[in-house]
Homo-oligomer: A and B are copies of this chain.
Amino acid sequence: MSADAEPAPVSAKPPVTLREVAAAAGVSVATASKALNGQGRMTAETRERIREVAQRLGFRPNHLAQSLLRKRSFTVGLLTNDTYGRFSLPLMAGVSDALVDNGVSVFLCNVEDDMRLGQLHVEAMLDKRVDGIIATGKRIDRHLPIDLSNLRIPVVYAFTQPDPGAVGLVSDDAGGARLAVEHFLRLGRRRIAHVTGPAGFAVVHTRAEAYREMLEEHGLPVGEPLLGAWSEAWGHDAVARLFGNGRGREGWPDAVFCGNDQIARGVIDALRERGIRVPDDVGVIGFDNWEIVAEATRPPLTSVDMNLASLGREAGLALLSLVGGQPAAPGIRKLPCRLVVRQSCGRPPGG
């Protein structure tokens, strides 16, 4: 039992090459290549024999060599500045999902909000000859801190502000807001408040506008949307304003549509602390469908899901077709949201 019985000379012998396969099969590399790729003409036996030898030797073609020749690396870069990955991870999963079947791998680069870092990563990608780039961020109305406009390879923007003339995919926030309000209306709620994030975010206005329109269409009173932070604390404050002593109980909302799940959670907690029951007295809907939050609220939160995985899938497919030479219609495409119903709105009357 010597200590160095097998020091595992990690040095691992080099991978087997096509040349070796050809030699073992007694053919030329050209023939071997064609046999394995189903190209060229040869007897079925020859092809099969070569295939078997390759199999036996564990041959795997060297993608680097292939890429060099084909001028396609079957690799794309995903740029994000969403450090916590709340938005970019589902998106990434979708992208990956769309690409893996095509043998395409994804370089993930977090550029924070650092131009230098972004530049560095983009150059690294370019040097590695990625076939294309997907740019994604944590908010729809901001550019990544990188210029991707003259890149010679296709770029798709997902969940971030696209360059003019580029193809961009974002969620349909207005549609999402309508979904939420509709749900409330269907449940018979009539005094619907809206508590959302800071004015600096475009989505705040998009959603608020949609909310307003929906209510007006139905001839319902439109409360002024309450703008604040994307935080639970703001949810608490907002409840203090909406359900404060200023107005009588009959002036209270019977529904609150929140700009994200954290606000919604704050709202729900604050309501509970005031003895106002959710969903019996007030229904609450959040936005983002961040499961970890939505499922921990009491009761679990109904929320608008932006379908980020689908968005990622679409972005991946769009990039793929762009790489394949298909011209894609530039401009921003909005993908629908969906409502994930949990228990914070109650059942329809008589439902």
**Residues of A in contact with B (beta carbons under 8 Å apart):** 8, 10, 12-15, 60-65, 67-68, 71, 73-75, 78, 83-85, 89, 92-93, 96, 100, 103, 105-110, 117, 120-121, 123-129, 152-154, 165, 231-233, 262, 269, 292, 296, 322, 327
Contacts and interface: CB of A to CB of B under 8 A. Distances in A.
Nearest to A117: B100
A277 to B, nearest CB: 15
A109 B103 CA distance: 13
Contacts of A100: 117, 120-121, 124
A68 B62 contact: yes
Label chain A's interface by main secondary structure. mixed
Given A12-B152, A60-B127, A84-B89, 14 more contacts: A10-B154, A12-B153, A62-B68, A65-B68, A74-B128, A83-B93, A84-B292, A92-B108, A93-B110, A96-B108, A105-B124, A106-B107, A108-B108, A262-B292
12 contacts: A10-B327, A12-B153, A15-B152, A63-B127, A63-B129, A64-B128, A96-B109, A103-B124, A105-B107, A105-B125, A105-B128, A233-B296
A20 to B, nearest CB: 15
A64 B67 contact: yes
A262 B14 contact: no
Contacts of A153: 12
Contacts of A154: 10
A129 B62 contact: yes
B68 A96 contact: no
Contacts of A71: 14
Contacts of A231: 296
Contacts of A84: 85, 89, 292
A170 B322 CA distance: 42
A128 B75 contact: yes
Contacts of A106: 107-109
A328 to B, nearest CB: 10
A4 B124 CA distance: 34
List of 3 A-B pairs having minimum Cβ-Cβ separation, nearest first: A12-B152, A108-B108, A85-B85
Contacts of A110: 92-93, 96
A20 B148 CA distance: 25
A128 B93 contact: no
A120 B84 CA distance: 27
Given A121-B100, A296-B231, A63 B93 contact: no
